[in-house]
Amino acid sequence: MNIKAVKAYAELIPLKKPYTIARETISDAEIIFFEIILTNGICGRGAANPDPEVIGETAAQTLENLSSDVVSDYLKGKHIREFLSYIAYFRKVYTRFPATLAALDIALHDAFGKWIELPIVDFYGRHHTKMLTSVTIGIKDVAETIQEAREYKEQGFKVLKVKTGLNAQLDAERVIRLNETFGDYFTIRVDANEGYSAHDLDVFLKETSSAPLELIEQPFHPKFNADLLKFPKDVRQKLAADESLTDAKAAFGIARDGLFGIFNIKMMKCGGLVSAFEIANIAKVAEIDLFWGCNDESDLSISAALHAAFACSNTKYLDLDGSFDLLEDTKESGFILQDGYLSIQSKPGF
């Protein structure tokens, strides 16, 4: 079944409520959609929302790449069964544009899965069927943090990811108060988004020593990763590489040096499923757990990440809440959310 046409377009989608992380305050998501139409009418869909601070690619660049003749001229007329070779080609062309690659990779996978009438997770081999996802609380004061946690509890969520990184003392107080208020109802993770120094992390760890934390994401900017070796191995085992983990080469270095005990894989950082599986395989050999994350994204790319996560035996954590806060997302969802658990709708493609 040949590719008849391709289409790229952008949508600026407001968030239900803005949130703050160590780097910035976010109030909307500019999402780039990409569609591949086969001659029999099947439409494979992909989407991307790059984080320029992390990968150096803007949404405008993603849209320009996907709208180019380079993409359309290469894909038109080709049979969808050879989709993996097309992904390999684009990885050479768009080496520095992982969000562009993610949209292409996701759309090609989706079209192929729909053509062979198989969910992508089953094409690669399903290892999981249902897992809890965390939901995110941005940087805010203690009272607002507690109130938002109450709202999430009412919605059935059981895992919180608390954004930190501006003030280690206040961050610790928020975590302690959450633990005091909700007991063991919530599993709590924190994400410093590169905002800490080694001193800040030491302060935070000491202040929260009596409050159970499941993991801590990316405390330092990647250029200061060597400072992680100042901390004992049991601490580093609870640290998740995020901004540091951009591709398989970075994954190999992190695993070799023993910097992090957890890999946070994001499609928008690494460039789609093919690249994600390269990272996942390195993690498996190194006995590193996988944590699947996201930006503010459409249900399309969240569904793709969930398929990839469930196809990896070493997946342990999900943070795939990126579409929950979009004010509107008209694209069809490929996942089911119930009481904080995510599962896959077993439909062809994603």
The structural domains of the chain, with segments of one domain joined by +, span 3-117, 122-344
Nearest to 191 by CA among 54, 327, 338, 341: 54
Relative to beta strand 215-217, strand 239-241 is parallel
Give the SS3 label for residue 248: helix
Is 3.30.390.10 the CATH classification of the domain at 3-117? yes
Distance CA 114, CA 43 (A): 8
Q: Give the SS3 label for residue 103.
A: helix
Phi-psi region of 270 (alpha: psi -120 to 50; beta: other; left: phi over 0): alpha
> What is the reported pTM?
0.95
- Specify whether the CB–CB gap between 347 and 120 falls below 8 A: no
* pLDDT per residue of the chain (350 residues) written in tens, 0 to 9: 999 999 999 999 888 877 777 777 778 889 999 999 999 999 999 999 999 989 999 999 999 999 999 999 999 999 999 999 999 999 999 999 999 999 999 999 999 999 999 999 999 999 999 999 999 999 999 999 999 999 999 999 999 999 999 999 999 999 999 999 999 999 999 999 999 999 999 999 999 999 999 999 999 999 999 999 999 999 999 999 999 999 999 999 999 999 999 999 999 999 999 999 999 999 999 999 999 999 999 999 999 999 999 999 999 999 999 898 887 776 668 999 999 999 999 899 99
Q: Are 290 and 316 in contact (CB under 8 A)?
A: yes
Q: What is 122-344's CATH topology?
A: TIM Barrel (3.20.20)
Q: Classify 292 as helix, strand or coil.
A: strand
No. of helices (H) and no. of strands (E), the chain: 14, 14
- ∠ CA 193-50-324, rounded to 5°: 75
